[in-house]
Amino acid sequence: MTISTDHEVKIEVNDVQHTVPKGKLSFDDLVKLAFGEDANPADGYRISFDRGHGNASGKLKLGASIEVVEDMDFTVTGTGQS
C-alpha cells in the first residue's frame, strides 16, 4: 500500500489506483495512465471524472488539464475515432 505524501495524491483510473504528483494532470497523462505509455491520445478517447474539487463530476476534453484531488475517480474509454 502506498501512503500519499503532501506532494502526492491517490486517484483511480479505470478502477486501478495510482499515486500521482499533486497538481494538474492533462488529458494525455490520463490516457497514458489508463492504457500505457504507448497510447496515443489523438486516437480518440473520452474521459469522465467523479469526486473532484467540491465533489464535482464531469468530462475532460482533449487538450485540457484538471487539478487532481485525493480519491478522484477517472474513467477513460476509447471512442474508436481519431
Domains and CATH numbers, the chain: 8-78 (3.10.20)
CA dist 26 and 73 (Å) reads 14
Among residues 18, 10, 78, the alpha carbon closest in space to that of 43 is found at 78
Cell of 55: 465533489
CA dist 73 and 12 (Å) reads 5
Against a cut of 0.75, is the pTM above it? yes
Give the pLDDT band of residue 41 (cuts 50, 70, 90).
Answer: confident
pLDDT beyond 70 at 1: no
User: How many CB atoms neighbour CB 20 within 10 A?
Assistant: 17
pLDDT beyond 70 at 2: no
Mean pLDDT of 9-37: 96
* Percentage of the chain modeled with pLDDT above 90: 74
